[in-house]
Structure 1
């Protein structure tokens, strides 16, 4: 029952993000958390504060307005004090140059008593880097900006 509740909540949060509201995701973080997006690009890096996480989401939405997150799979294991979640999500968006973007994201989360303590996000970095390079070439400097950390 608990695992189904967590999986439903994960799907609901992705639906909120797809609707333009990332705040439920930010508020789902524990007071002490790590959010790591793998790679070496404008969306990569590690964040430990809600302010940095909000700034990161703002950048995501500036670079790829109105993304859609289609949750393909959610796996949940462990008790409420040591829950682990794995997701496979397809993200799609129309980027600022008018082209379409689609990529597969996997996330590994750790939760404690309903709050997320760790997120590790892996996205096909080659696909993502190509889009960021195109945006930078079109004059959108933020596509090659340093990662948001903090």
Structure 2
């Protein structure tokens, strides 16, 4: 029963994100967490603060507005004090040239007492890089920006 509840919550969270409401995901993070998106591009990097994670979500949805997430698989193991979740999710978003960004990513999520302590996202980075290159070619400079990190979020907060 517990595993079914967690899987349902994961699916509901992706539905919320698809509707542009990503804040619930950030609110679900534990006080100490790791959020890692693999690759070397504007969406990659590792974050440990909610400030950096919020900036990352804002950038993600600026680059790929109207993104939808279709959860294909959720696997849950463990108990409330040590829960592991694996997902396979199809992601889709319109691009400025009229084509669509279509990709699949896998996530490993660790939770402790209903709070997320780790998220590791593996996406086909070649497909993602092509989409970011198309955005940059369309004049979206942020598509080739440096990844958002805790340090860049702190710097941004200090500057105002």
Pair 1:97 & 2:104 matched: no
What is the aligned partner in structure 2 of residue 88 from structure 1?
88
Runs of 4+ in 1 over 4 A off after TM superposition: none
Alignment deviations for residues 10-69 of structure 1 (CA, whole Å, 9 cap, x no partner): 000000000000011000100000000000000000011111111111111111111000
2:130 aligned counterpart, secondary structure: helix
1:25 and 2:19 matched: no
Distance 1:96 1:42 in 2: 17
Q: Normalized against structure 1, the TM-score is what?
A: 0.98
Structure 2 unaligned spans of 5+: 151-160
In structure 2, the partner of 1:58 is 58
Q: Per the alignment, do residues 97 and 54 of structure 1 end up closer, same or farther by CA in structure 2, a change over 3 Å counting? A: farther
TM-score of the two chains, using structure 2 as the length reference: 0.92
Instruction: Write the distance in 1 (CA, Å) between the matches of 2:29 and 2:96.
Output: 30
Write out aligned runs for 1:5-16 (5 A).
Answer: 5-16=5-16
1:79 to partner: Cα distance = 1.2
Count matched residues. Answer: 150
State yes or no: 1:135 paired with 2:102: no
Q: Partners of 1:42 and 1:88 in 2: how far apart?
A: 22
CA shift at 1:82, angstroms?
0.7
Structure-1 residue corresponding to 2:154? none
The Cα of 1:100 is off from its aligned counterpart by 0.6
Name the Cα RMSD after superposition: 0.7
CA distance in 1, matches of 2:31, 2:84: 18
Alignment gaps of 5+ in structure 1: none
Contact 1:63 1:96 in 2 (8 A): no
Q: 1:80: Cα distance to partner?
A: 0.8
TM-superposed CA distance for 1:75, in Å, is: 0.2
Aligned counterparts, 1:101-140, within 5 A: 101-140=101-140
- Displacement, 1:78? 0.6
Specify the SS of the correspondent of 1:78: strand
Task: Determine the structure 2 residue equivalent to 1:79.
Answer: 79
